[in-house]
């Protein structure tokens, strides 16, 4: 396989005919999927190395405590329920090494276990585990908020964003939904111009404006948050949801942004990992350039399709 990979990587497409280019394209696709498959198995399967045991415990605790939390939000809650959840929460929380799990997850799991007992024993829903929805909270005008956001490709490099504000924006993005609340999305934030330039040099969609970018976020997904073949694409879904929420959070802070796709092969991804320091167990979802727009910046019109081309009403 390594010989084929090297040939695929080094082949010069222009010297090939139509058949050769088709074959080369197929080989590249095969190579990319092979690398993806091996990476997913290494990081997320039930047979992952023991060094990832803490990450697996965190994933499983989150799965089971979320089962309890969401069941208590149903219009009709069964009583009793959750025998499997109770057994698994008890088992994992009593295991040696559970202290390596994030304390937020451990606390949530303990709270869910108490909430389950409270419901099954006394028929009371725990406000701590499943609080009431506040339907009276004031909301801003949604159309104006959504319609005023557009991609910016001309940033003011002299206007910096305070690091604490960036942290606040990431905290807002954490409100993004994820499968069973596993929160596998991660953000690598770059503010040094040399670091940003090195990362953008590996991405193919910033030519013409990359030199103006003074803040860059790289959104990734931690494969260890997922398991089984049925969740092989979940990281891309959760990571994309997080990325979009991050962009909306930027907009809420009056900060412009431009999503930069990471439609790159494994070779470029390896270089990015080495350049930025992205762990092997994280998949790169996209980059997001952000900052304040330069004076008199313009936006692409980017006309949207007719609504009926998108919406099918059944």
Count of C-beta atoms within a 10 Å radius of residue 269: 18
Q: Are residues 62 and 108 in the same domain?
A: yes
Is 95 among the domain residues?
Answer: yes
CA distance 222 to 266: 17
Within a domain: 129: no
- The predicted pLDDT at position 258 comes to 97
Give the pLDDT confidence score for residue 79 in this predicted structure: 97
My answer on whether 233 and 175 are in the same domain is: yes
Same domain, 118 and 155: no
Q: Does 135 map to a domain?
A: no
One domain for residues 171 and 279 = yes
Q: Is the pLDDT of residue 48 over 90?
A: no
Residue range 260-278: mean pLDDT, rounded = 97
**200 pLDDT more than 60:** yes
pLDDT digits (tens, 9 = 90+) for 168-193: 999 999 999 999 999 999 999 999 99
Q: Is the dihedral of CA 255, 174, 230, 279 positive or negative?
A: positive
pLDDT of residue 16: 62
Output the pLDDT for position 32.
Answer: 84
Q: What residues make up the domain containing 80?
A: 50-122
The rounded mean pLDDT for the chain is 91
Total tally of structural domains belonging to the chain: 3
CATH of the domain at 251: 3.40.109.10
- Is a pLDDT exceeding 60 seen at residue 13? no
The answer to whether residue 300 sits within a structural domain is no
Residue 150 in this model has a pLDDT that exceeds 90: yes
Residue 304 placed within a domain: no
Residue 313's pLDDT is: 98
Q: Within a domain: residue 194?
A: yes
Q: Say whether both 92 and 227 belong to one domain.
A: no
Integer angstrom CA distances of residue 59 from 64, 258, 262, 285, 298: 9, 32, 26, 20, 44
Is the torsion defined by CA of 253, 258, 262, 267 positive or negative? negative
* Domain edge (last residue) among 88, 122, 156: 122
Residue 199 lies inside a defined structural domain of this protein: yes
Sequence-distant (≥ 6) Cβ neighbours of residue 195 within 8 angstroms = 276
Average pLDDT, stretch 7-22? Answer: 63
**Whether residues 13 and 71 fall in one domain:** no
Q: Distance (Å, rounded) from C-alpha 250 to C-alpha 155?
A: 14
Q: 287 and 153, same structural domain?
A: yes
Q: Is residue 219 part of a domain?
A: yes
pLDDT tens string 62-113: 999 999 999 999 999 999 999 999 999 999 999 988 999 999 999 999 999 9
Question: What does the pLDDT read at residue 27?
Answer: 85
């Amino acid at each position: 396989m390594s010989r084929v990979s090297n040939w695929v990587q080094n082949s010069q497409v222009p010297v090939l005919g139509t058949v050769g280019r088709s074959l080369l394209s197929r080989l590249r696709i095969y190579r990319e999927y092979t690398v993806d498959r091996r990476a997913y198995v290494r990081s997320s399967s039930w047979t992952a190395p023991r060094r990832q045991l803490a990450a697996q415990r965190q994933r499983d605790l989150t799965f089971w405590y979320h089962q309890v939390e969401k069941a208590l939000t149903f219009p009709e809650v069964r009583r009793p329920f959750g025998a499997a959840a109770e057994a698994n929460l008890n088992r994992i929380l009593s295991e040696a090494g559970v202290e390596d799990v994030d304390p937020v997850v451990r606390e949530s799991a303990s709270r869910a276990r108490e909430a389950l007992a409270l419901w099954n024993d006394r028929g009371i829903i725990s406000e701590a585990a499943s609080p009431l929805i506040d339907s009276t909270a004031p909301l801003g005008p949604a159309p104006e908020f959504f319609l005023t956001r557009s991609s910016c490709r001309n940033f003011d490099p002299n206007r910096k964003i305070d690091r604490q504000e960036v942290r606040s924006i990431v905290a807002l993005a954490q409100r993004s939904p994820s499968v069973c609340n596993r929160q596998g999305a991660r953000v690598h934030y770059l503010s040094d111009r040399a670091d940003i330039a090195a990362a953008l040099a590996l991405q193919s969609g910033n030519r013409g404006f990359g030199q103006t970018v003074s803040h860059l976020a790289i959104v990734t997904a931690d494969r260890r948050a997922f398991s089984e073949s049925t969740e092989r694409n979940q990281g891309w879904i959760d990571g994309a949801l997080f990325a979009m929420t991050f962009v909306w959070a930027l907009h809420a802070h009056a900060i412009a942004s431009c999503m930069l796709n990471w439609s790159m092969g494994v070779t470029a991804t390896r270089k990015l990992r080495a350049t930025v320091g992205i762990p092997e167990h994280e998949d790169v979802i996209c980059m997001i350039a952000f900052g304040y727009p330069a004076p008199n910046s313009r936006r692409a019109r980017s006309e949207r399709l007719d609504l009926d081309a998108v919406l099918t009403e059944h």
